[in-house]
Each structure stands twice: as structure tokens, then as C-alpha cells.
Chains A and B, each alone.
Chain A
Amino acid sequence: MSFQTTPIVSGDTYEMAHRFAREVEQELAGIADPAAQAAILEKRWAQLTALGWTVTAIPEEAGGAGGDLGELAALAGGAGRAGLALPIASACGVVPALLAGQAALADVAHGAMRVAVILPGAAQDDPAGALRGGATLDGAVVGIETPPTPTHLLIVLEAPEPLMLLVPVTTPGIESASYLRIDGRMAADFRFAAIPINPSWVLARGPAVLQRAAAARDLGALLTCIECVAAMGALLEQTIQYLLNRVQFGAPLASYQALRHRVADMYVEYESLRGITARALRAAAQGEGEPWQAIAFAKLRLGEAGRAVAESAIQAHGGMGMTEELPAIRLCKRLMMADFEYGNRVFQAARLLADAA
């Protein structure tokens, strides 16, 4: 028997999420047209909402299921194992965390509101054109992960005053361009041209907003790590299967020591990420030590291990590793993209270094 991974959090939720994600993956696999892919994601998003994924961590009094972090982790792990191309960490974790205690949470819970999150420091093409507040919203952000057809933007601004805004996407003056990312997820660029800030958009203001945004970003980073541990485990299994089946020079590739050792290295990276992610999950669930540090270290490790494992898997698949044919290679793209969500390895290293100084 060749290798099978064990999930960080197993159980019915994990299994259900994995089944759903695998169906989506199989449905998307045969389709090359981005518009057709987006249509599938739209349909699947409606199903996922109907199944109650997005209310998992919302308290019962706000219309949610009142699940804990373990429940979210099971969802993220199951979805991650098949590289689900929908924003699980954002919709199930980050958005409910940012909107905790807000009336809007109920609209998110029953699916009427689809939220894309824009946190401080969001990327832009021109640093001079960074998104800023004041009397009006101005500037631009790019590469923002979105659910299919977002209805609202949840924007956290740092300056001149920390603000959390919930802005309808249809507001005049917002221009958007949406597209699919390298890992098949939906993203968009948003441009804001002198849009007066409507007082009804303001959900919160003051320094507490930034604390909440930082905590929500960390939750996003943690769930991304959990997703990626599962993705990496599946990638390892699939790479092993490929090498067992593919025969060259009269022998399975799995018999060549150069490849066997490369796969052993992948496994060490996988276990290392699994260990540090389990540690971060425990820290976050139990408030053990400094959860943000545990998460930052895990996300840093994800950047390192994710890149190493994805690159090795592509190499191990040879020419097939350069194609979009195989589920394994789609997982590679997911691992590469995940580094850039909720603070990449450079961001995480920088904040850990700043803290140590």
C-alpha cells in the first residue's frame, strides 16, 4: 500500500467538504473557457451557501451554526484536499470575523450578501494610487479574491482614520474588472474615483478596527495553511501514484532513487507544514501563547514548503508537470498562489523580525 495522508481535523464535515470539492474539481477539469468556468463556480457557490458552509462560524443568534474553529478547519481541510476554487477561508472565516456583531452578518448568513474583503495593504499597480479614505474613497486595489458576483466590498482603511466600510459594489464610481486567478479562483481589480463616503457604510471606526482586521487576516492565514496541508497531502499521494504507474527505461519511475529521494524531501516538507499548522491551530483555538506568532510562523513555512513541494511535484511529473491536464498540477498552482493570501512569506518574516527587534 502506498501512502495516504491523515487530515488535521477529520470527521463528517471534512468528508462532506472533500466530496463537494472533488465534484467541482472534476466538473471544472474538462473546461478551458474562463467564462464557462466562472458559470460553474457561480452555480457551485449557490449550492455551497445552501449547504450552510458560510454560516459555519457565525453565532446561532445571528442566524449561523455556531461552529468553532475546529469545524472551520475541517471545512478548509476537506475543500483544500481537492483544491476547491472558491474562497472558503474568506467567506467562512474572514468575513464572519470582520462582521461579528453587525446586522449585515444575517444577510451574509442567508446568502443575500456576497462579500469581497479589502484589507489594509492590498496590492495596487501604482503605489501613488493606493486606496485611501477621508471625505471620499480614491485609488485602486488589484487581485482581490472574490466570491462569484460579489454584492459588497468590505473595506478596512488605515488612514487618515481607521474605518471599516461595507460598500455596495454597484455604487457609482466603482469600476471593476474580474478574472480567474492562476489557481482558478475568482478575483477582481477595483478602482474608486472620488466616491463620497456614505455614513451608512461605516460599520466601525478607530484603532479597534485595525486590531479586528489583523485578527481576521490571521484567521485567513491559518485556514489557508490548513487548506494547503490537505492540498499538499493529496499532491504527494498523486505524485506517488504517478511515479508508481509511469514506466520508463523498463522500470516504474518509483524505482529510481533520485525520484524516491525527491519525494522523501517533499514528505518532510509536508510533515513540517502539517506540524506547524497543527500547532498554530491549537494556539488559535486555545489562545495558547501568542496565536498571531504561531500563525505567522506557519504561514511563513507554507510559503517555503508550498513552493518547494509544488516545484518538486512538477519536476517529478516531467513533461506532464508542465500541462494543465492533471489534478496534481492544479494543486501545485493552488499551493503557489496560497503564499500570496493573507500575507506572503516575506510579509510574515518581516513582522516576526520586527517583533523580535
Chain B
Amino acid sequence: MDAATINYEAFREEVRDFALTRCPPEIRAVVATYRKLSRKVWYPWQRILFEHGWGAPSWPREFGGTGWDQRQRVIFDEVMAECDCPPQYHHGLRHLGPVIIEFGTPEQQARFLPGILNGEDWWCQGYSEPGAGSDLASLRTTARLEGDEYVVEGQKTWTSHAHESDWMYTLVRTSKEVKKQQGISLLLIPLNSPGITIRPIRTIDGWHHVNEVFLDQVRVPVANRIGAEGQGWTYGKFLLERERLGGANIAPHHKALERVRALVAQELKGEGRRAERELLQHRLLRAEAELLGASELGRESVEAVIEGRALGMLPAVIKLSTSVTMQTISQVALDAVGERLAPRFRRIEGEGPNAEAPGIEWVQNYMYARVRTIYGGSSEVQKNVIAKQLFGM
């Protein structure tokens, strides 16, 4: 179907109706209260989507995707956020799947794609290392070819969901003889392989999202390499290209803003707290203006992609701007509840005496929000990217 024959408003209603009737209330409650999205929450929802034929909105139809166009995918993501459904941000689905579809062999496609689609296989991304963060191409985990196996040695870090994943798609160095981007390959490594140790990283928000993954003489069949040896960097860039609209969906940000607005009204009720309330409301209003500007840039990005035009600096601008606005929103929430709740910060979800204190998630959210200007290309990296374009040097 081409864009002229698709009724996008009817599509939006169809998605909304599905989200509200088919996404279990307990799952939506996890999203609405910003509790940790784990495989336990994601998997059942992915299963429901899969059974409805919506398991992979961004994949082509022949691989079990929906075949939706860009605008439909944007609508899908927006409605999911508006309805508090878990964002379909699984590493397998959004990141690895498209790479296997583009560069994998038919055997690899047949072996890996079904498990990603139905949610039975859970994936994590082995990219960052202790010495390779923003400068990812400096990675040093090596893979040495021995017969029909690679022997992998090294360490990954900041590995989200490694503790609940079955597989890690991993960038490894297969050559030191060439330019640093050219000696990198992409391997699919089962996490139950001998020689793998996963250790949780304790983060300041008290949640367990990220891990260190140690690889000690891990043997990986050559058949698990995607594409050619030494081309891993290209696939990583392909993936980023696919994800360039990732930041264009501002619906979750608007949702957070509305929640904090309600929180401020609830927490600072009455004439006696009017001045405090209005100060915070003013800050939220300024944040809303920033989000409205970013939404428009998101809209322009979607139009540009649909029309096949270059996005230029838009993704960097949207990332820079919305990451700070989300931090602002979380700061306002903390200012509203902090006196009551900051002393009762809970370390791990669902445990300890303060786990059920109403609104306790905002303390955690504030701490978590600090990462928004660090991950996905830190603000400093984004500014370097923008400055290079602006100055032409």
C-alpha cells in the first residue's frame, strides 16, 4: 500500500484500541510508575504483539515484520507511549534483527530471526568496553581464529540486560594490522558459553540494568559471525542509520511531563503551598515549550526520512535538547517530593521498607535521568558533531 491509500488516523485508532484492550493492566502499571522494565515485563507483551502479527514493526513482511511504512511506525511508537505500553526497545528486534536481515546468510536468518520475533530469545549488545566508551572504535576485546572457531578474550561493560539475556551480539577486534575501524567484526555469542562471567554494575539509581561481561577464552563458531570479517564497524553504522529516528518520538517525554504536572498538583496542594507549586509549574511550562520545539523537529525528521532527504543535524539537536528537558522534568519531580521521599530512596525495586512509599519512583527517576546526557552519544559528543557541521571544520 502506498501512503496515499493508508488512512493514518484510522490506523492510529486501531493501534490505540489494541494497546488499551490487549496490553495487560499490570504491564501498563509498570510503565506508568516507571518501574524497571525487565524481560519478565517485556516478554509477555512481545508475545501478544507477535501473535497479532505486530512483533516487528520495522521489519519487512517476508521476515515476519508488519511492512508498515515510516509514518505508521512512528504512529505505533507514539501510541504505545501514550497508552503506557512498554516501548518495543529490545536489542534483538530494533538493533540486531535489521542487521541480520541485511547482512546475514539465509541460515543465520532462519536460525536467529524467529526467536527474536516471538520473544523467546533475548539479546544484549556487547559494544562498550572499559577503554572504549564514546570512542567505541578503540575496543580491544579480541577474537582469534582457530580452525572454525573464534577464541574471544576481553571485557565488555555497560551491557544492558546481559543478566537476563540468552545472547550477546558483540563487536570484537579480529585484526590489529589495519585502521582501527577496519579490524572489527560482529559475533553472536551465546551467554551460556564456557568462559563468560557476568557481574552486575551498581548504578546510582539503585536499579540493576547494566553489567560487566568478562570473556575468557570463549569459543564461538565462525558460523556466528555476521557478514565479512573486519566489516563489523560498517554494520554498527548501518544500525545507527536505521535508528536515526529513534529520538524523534517525543510522546514519552510529553507523558512524563503530564505525570510530573499531576504530581506537583497533588503533592503541593492547597493555598499554603501555592508559591512552591507555581514555581515548579513555571519550570514545567518552560520544559513543555522545549518539548514542543523538539516535537516539531521530530516531525520534520519523519517527513525527511519519508521523502528520502538527509537529516543533517536534527538527530543531534533533538538528542541534546530532549535529554536535558527530561532531566529538568525529573528535577522538578524531585523538588516536589524530595523532602518526603529523598531520605527513603530505595536501592532495589520491590525490596526494603520504602518500596511502596507513594511516588518513591521519582527519586529513582531523578538519579536515572542523569544518564540521558551520557548514553547514546553524550552531550559533549553531540556538540562536537554539531560544531563540525556548523564550522565546516
Please report A residues at the B interface, Cβ cutoff 8 Å.
1-3, 236, 240, 243-244, 254-255, 257, 260-261, 263-265, 267-268, 271-276, 278-279, 294, 297-298, 300-301, 304, 349, 352-353, 356
Whether, in the assembled complex, B281 has its beta carbon less than 8 Å from a beta carbon of chain A, the answer is yes
Contacting residue for A297 out of B281, B292, B294, B383, CB 8 A: B292
Q: Report how far A349 CA is from B384 CA in the complex, Å.
A: 33
Whole-angstrom distance from the CB of B140 to the nearest CB of chain A? 26
The answer to whether B285 and A3 touch across the interface, beta carbons within 8 angstroms, is no
Within 8 Å CB of B261, what residues of A?
A: 356
What are 19 residue pairs bridging A and B, where the CB atoms are less than 8 Å apart in the complex? Answer: A2-B390, A2-B392, A3-B389, A3-B391, A3-B392, A243-B391, A254-B393, A260-B383, A264-B384, A267-B386, A268-B321, A271-B317, A276-B293, A294-B292, A301-B289, A349-B285, A349-B286, A353-B281, A353-B282
Within 8 Å CB of A243, what residues of B?
A: 391
Per the 8 Å Cβ criterion, residues 265-295 of B in contact with A are 278, 281-282, 285-286, 288-290, 292-295
Please report B residues at the A interface, Cβ cutoff 8 Å.
261, 278, 281-282, 285-286, 288-290, 292-297, 300, 313-314, 317, 320-321, 380, 382-384, 386-387, 389-393
The answer to whether A260 and B387 touch across the interface, beta carbons within 8 angstroms, is yes
Interface of A is mostly: helix
Interface of B is mostly: helix
Q: Report how far A268 CA is from B390 CA in the complex, Å.
A: 11
The answer to whether B391 and A268 touch across the interface, beta carbons within 8 angstroms, is no
Q: Report how far A302 CA is from B317 CA in the complex, Å.
A: 17
The answer to whether B296 and A264 touch across the interface, beta carbons within 8 angstroms, is no
The answer to whether B313 and A300 touch across the interface, beta carbons within 8 angstroms, is no
Q: Report how far A206 CA is from B391 CA in the complex, Å.
A: 56
Whole-angstrom distance from the CB of A221 to the nearest CB of chain B? 13
The answer to whether A264 and B387 touch across the interface, beta carbons within 8 angstroms, is yes
Whole-angstrom distance from the CB of B13 to the nearest CB of chain A? 19
Q: Report how far A244 CA is from B290 CA in the complex, Å.
A: 30
Within 8 Å CB of A278, what residues of B?
A: 296
Q: Report how far A222 CA is from B392 CA in the complex, Å.
A: 32
Whole-angstrom distance from the CB of A10 to the nearest CB of chain B? 15
Residue among B296, B300, B393 having the largest count of chain A Cβ atoms under 10 Å? B296
The answer to whether B290 and A261 touch across the interface, beta carbons within 8 angstroms, is no
The answer to whether A300 and B289 touch across the interface, beta carbons within 8 angstroms, is yes
The answer to whether B285 and A2 touch across the interface, beta carbons within 8 angstroms, is no
The answer to whether B391 and A275 touch across the interface, beta carbons within 8 angstroms, is no
Within 8 Å CB of A352, what residues of B?
A: 285
Given the contacts A272-B290, A276-B292, A279-B292, A264 and B383 also touching, CB distance less than 8 Å: yes
Residue among A254, A272, A301 having the largest count of chain B Cβ atoms under 10 Å? A272
Q: Report how far A240 CA is from B392 CA in the complex, Å.
A: 10
Contacting residue for B294 out of A240, A275, A294, A304, CB 8 A: A275
Whole-angstrom distance from the CB of A265 to the nearest CB of chain B? 7
